[in-house]
A and B are shown apart, each in its own frame.
Chain A
């Protein structure tokens, strides 16, 4: 199974900051990478797919990059509604696997 490792596990930031989260795959997954955002008590929501494609309705301050084994999610000018937990997930092979999550907090 492919292991996904995110870093950091949590980070403190302020409104207006630029935030970068990293996800590494244990083997190459091309661009088969998805980023989700989850807020407390809510289901996860797709932010980015195919490593860099912005899901419809997601603000343009979110961006993704990477290919192979190294990926990043960047939030430019963090807004109050962005404080949440972010997960990466590989969609390259079954079983699908998630990273352990990165909590973005004040």
Chain B
């Protein structure tokens, strides 16, 4: 079974740091890109950071650029998100998701096909 399991969430004060982890199983980890997506409960999805389908390009949302750093360890089949200078507006459920290449005719694009259940981050004083 293909699984992504996040951990590392918790309560942190504004300005603090937190490191999230995502452990993968059931697929060849190094062959896929991965992303972090967050969601305030009951609200919309916000793409935070991620690799493209082949893992050669990375990006960050403007709201986290310069504060969050994503990394991966293929040997441990794990994805990480180092979150620094946390703000109240970073409070959300953080999901990791697998990036899969999908092809339709001449269009090849990547989509998030497998998601973890998420780990909750609360930034509060």
Partners in one complex: yes
Q: Which residues of A contact B (CB under 8 A)?
A: 1, 30-32, 34, 36, 38, 43-44, 46, 49-53, 55, 87, 89, 91-92, 94-101
B45 touches A87 (CB 8 A): yes
A32 touches B109 (CB 8 A): yes
B109 touches A34 (CB 8 A): yes
Interface of A is mostly: loop
Residues of A within 8 A of B62 (CB): 1, 95
- Count chain B residues whose beta carbon lies closer than 8 angstroms to a beta carbon of A: 31
A100 touches B44 (CB 8 A): yes
Residues of B within 8 A of A96 (CB): 35, 47, 50, 59
The answer to the question of B2 belonging to the interface, with a C-beta cut-off of 8 Å to chain A, is: no
B102 touches A49 (CB 8 A): yes
Residues of A within 8 A of B43 (CB): 101
Residues of A within 8 A of B95 (CB): 43
Please report the C-alpha to C-alpha distance between residue A97 and residue B47 in the assembled complex, in whole angstroms: 6
Q: Which residues of B contact A (CB under 8 A)?
A: 35, 37, 43-47, 49-50, 52, 57-62, 95, 97, 102-105, 107, 109-113, 115-117
Interface of B is mostly: strand
Q: List 14 A-B contacts (CB under 8 A).
A: A31-B104, A31-B107, A32-B107, A49-B104, A50-B103, A52-B104, A53-B102, A96-B47, A97-B47, A97-B61, A98-B45, A99-B44, A100-B44, A101-B43
Task: Knowing that A96-B59, A98-B37, A101-B45 touch, tell me 4 more A-B residue pairs with CB under 8 angstroms.
Answer: A1-B62, A43-B95, A44-B112, A98-B46
User: Closest chain B residue to A54 by CB distance?
Assistant: B104
B104 touches A94 (CB 8 A): no
Give min CB distance, B34 to chain A, whole Å: 12
A46 touches B107 (CB 8 A): no
Residues of A within 8 A of B113 (CB): 46
Residues of A within 8 A of B111 (CB): 34, 46, 49, 89, 91
Interface centre among B37, B59, B111 (most CB of A within 10 A): B111
User: Closest chain A residue to B64 by CB distance?
Assistant: A95
